[in-house]
Chains A and B, each alone.
Chain A
């Protein structure tokens, strides 16, 4: 893809707003430190309209951005049939974590950045670091804030009448526990070599503060001057992360936490975007892999 071709794809770069609301159908744990063996919920300290302060749980926009980056990275390696062991550490880091500065220099390689962001739409959408440049992406992801009375002053108009808008945040907080199972005293013990001494016990209860199922959060995704390929990338990622009919946020997802129903009150995902995104990846596969290699060389 040449620079001239790229310029032709950049005719108009609209701003897009995609508000969304997530209702938890499983406990959500988005953690920030521990107290004893309890993992604490991440909270945001806020100032209420009367000047008093409080703290309300939230899910960071940073983690939403990572979910989108992760979805696009997996789509890329699957679509291009990347062989296992076929990437460098820097390439994996670029695709899944946004890359890193690896060189010094004060000259921004504009044409190079233009080419990379257009060839690898995830980079244009989310931004990246490579060589000596930090390049901003087109996507802004809101923190997902809890619908509760403490946040009532900043609720968007379409949620003003939500039944949770008059309830305190504490109503939606809870704690769950898990158990690390101890095999001592079970039939598994017979597999332990004779003569070995078992530790007294490895049993452990661990606890998580959570947002309870039924809690609702809202936020928005915004595109500032995104190219058509970056727009398609966002919708492709949203297609992937909502493919099961739900979306997962926060931690402990493999243990069943964080599942939410997502609604898009202003219209949702462009159903054709994922196919366009995949077609772009297929059409430029070799150039995409070359660009990733170049960026992480």
Chain B
């Protein structure tokens, strides 16, 4: 089963069955996205687990995400940490066993740009087909919803992305075979993943370089989907 049952998660970081892992991802196209935000390893794995699930069952198998209900969690092959919630609980299903907030033992990566660049996405107006298939008298290329566009997005070449985790190397490696791109405009070829390397070893506590609940912290996400309000609470940021 790839889905996590609500209310079942306990702290398993110290369990001997999990191994410390170092995950390295190399991109061969520029990354388009907000470089001020960390790149989350468990976020990438959650996307891969979603693809794995839809491969097996189709998207119609999953319920839609709702703002006031906990989002689904997938088994990512990672150990889990628990903490007391530091913010209001919107849905108990978002909590682990004993009412604890929880997340996956995987660090965040802070991208360091090797070079800043920009990518352009163009929207070509369909003038020819409009001439033929509509009865409109004119089409304004510079105004209105159907205008031509050449949108420039800031992008960056970044070095390798490294995540430290505690988990099952086989499950993590299997999921990451589905990691095709990171960042925005992946459907236009950007942020393409060229290589993923999962190596057993490293410091067992290195996963802690991530957001974790802290009463005096700023509101941030604790696990994927990071934007979802049931995942947000005061946290201390990664270092």
Q: What residues make up the interface of A, taking CB atoms closer than 8 Å to B? A: 6-7, 10-15, 32, 42, 44-47, 51, 53, 60-63, 65-66, 73, 77, 82, 84-93, 95-98, 100-102, 110, 114, 127, 136-137, 139-143, 153-154, 219, 222, 224-225
**What are 20 contact pairs spanning A and B, CB under 8 A?**
A45-B115, A45-B117, A46-B157, A47-B114, A73-B129, A85-B133, A85-B134, A89-B134, A91-B134, A92-B129, A93-B125, A93-B126, A97-B126, A97-B146, A100-B145, A110-B64, A143-B29, A219-B189, A225-B55, A225-B59
Q: Tell me the complex Cα distance, A26–B30, Å.
A: 29
CB-CB < 8 A to A66: which residues of B?
Answer: 124
Q: Which of B115, B125, B178 contacts A53 (CB 8 A)?
A: B115
B197: interface (CB < 8 Å): no
Q: Tell me the complex Cα distance, A268–B79, Å.
A: 41
**CB atoms of A7 and B60 under 8 A apart:** yes
B88: interface (CB < 8 Å): no
Query: Shortest CB–CB separation between residue B116 and chain A, in angstroms?
Result: 9
**CB atoms of A7 and B58 under 8 A apart:** yes
Main secondary structure of the interface of A (DSSP, over half): mixed
CB-CB < 8 A to A224: which residues of B?
Answer: 51, 180
In the complex, residue of chain B having the shortest beta-carbon distance to the beta carbon of A47: B157
Q: Which of B55, B56, B129, B192 contacts A142 (CB 8 A)?
A: B192
Q: Tell me the complex Cα distance, A121–B143, Å.
A: 29
Q: Tell me the complex Cα distance, A15–B115, Å.
A: 32
In the complex, residue of chain A having the shortest beta-carbon distance to the beta carbon of B125: A97
Contact (A89, B136) CB under 8 Å given A15-B51, A46-B157: yes
Q: Mark B112-144, 1 if CB is under 8 A from A, else 0.
A: 001101001111111001101111100100000
B237: interface (CB < 8 Å): no
**CB atoms of A92 and B188 under 8 A apart:** no
Q: Tell me the complex Cα distance, A137–B58, Å.
A: 15
In the complex, residue of chain A having the shortest beta-carbon distance to the beta carbon of B192: A142
Q: Tell me the complex Cα distance, A128–B126, Å.
A: 15
Contacts A88-B134, A91-B133, A225-B59 known; 7 new A-B pairs at CB < 8 A? A60-B188, A61-B188, A62-B120, A62-B188, A82-B133, A84-B132, A92-B134
CB-CB < 8 A to A142: which residues of B?
Answer: 29, 189, 192
CB-CB < 8 A to A89: which residues of B?
Answer: 130, 134, 136, 139, 146
Q: Tell me the complex Cα distance, A60–B189, Å.
A: 8
Q: Tell me the complex Cα distance, A139–B187, Å.
A: 6
**CB atoms of B55 and A12 under 8 A apart:** yes
B181: interface (CB < 8 Å): yes
Q: What residues make up the interface of B, taking CB atoms closer than 8 Å to A? A: 28-30, 51, 54-60, 64, 114-115, 117, 120-126, 129-130, 132-136, 139, 145-146, 157, 178, 180-181, 186-190, 192, 194
In the complex, residue of chain B having the shortest beta-carbon distance to the beta carbon of A51: B114
**CB atoms of B120 and A10 under 8 A apart:** no
Query: Shortest CB–CB separation between residue B142 and chain A, in angstroms?
Result: 14
In the complex, residue of chain A having the shortest beta-carbon distance to the beta carbon of B116: A45
CB-CB < 8 A to B55: which residues of A?
Answer: 12-15, 225
Q: Tell me the complex Cα distance, A63–B121, Å.
A: 9
CB-CB < 8 A to B181: which residues of A?
Answer: 140
CB-CB < 8 A to B29: which residues of A?
Answer: 142-143
Q: Which of A10, A84, A101, A143 contacts B133 (CB 8 A)?
A: A84
**CB atoms of B123 and A97 under 8 A apart:** yes
Q: Tell me the complex Cα distance, A257–B181, Å.
A: 31
Contact (A15, B178) CB under 8 Å given A32-B120, A96-B126, A140-B186: yes
**CB atoms of A11 and B58 under 8 A apart:** yes
**CB atoms of A62 and B145 under 8 A apart:** no
Q: Report which residue of B60, B130, B180 has the largest number of chain A beta carbons within 10 angstroms of its beta carbon.
A: B60
3 nearest A-B pairs in the assembled complex, by CB-CB distance? A61-B189, A96-B126, A100-B145
Q: Tell me the complex Cα distance, A85–B192, Å.
A: 41
Q: Which of A82, A102, A154 contacts B145 (CB 8 A)?
A: A102
**CB atoms of A12 and B56 under 8 A apart:** yes
Q: Tell me the complex Cα distance, A140–B135, Å.
A: 34
Q: Which of A10, A85, A102 contacts B58 (CB 8 A)?
A: A10
CB-CB < 8 A to B187: which residues of A?
Answer: 61, 65, 127, 136-137, 139-141
Q: Tell me the complex Cα distance, A45–B29, Å.
A: 10
CB-CB < 8 A to A63: which residues of B?
Answer: 122
Contact (A65, B188) CB under 8 Å given A15-B51, A140-B180: yes
In the complex, residue of chain A having the shortest beta-carbon distance to the beta carbon of B159: A47
CB-CB < 8 A to A92: which residues of B?
Answer: 126, 129-130, 133-134
Query: Shortest CB–CB separation between residue B181 and chain A, in angstroms?
Result: 7
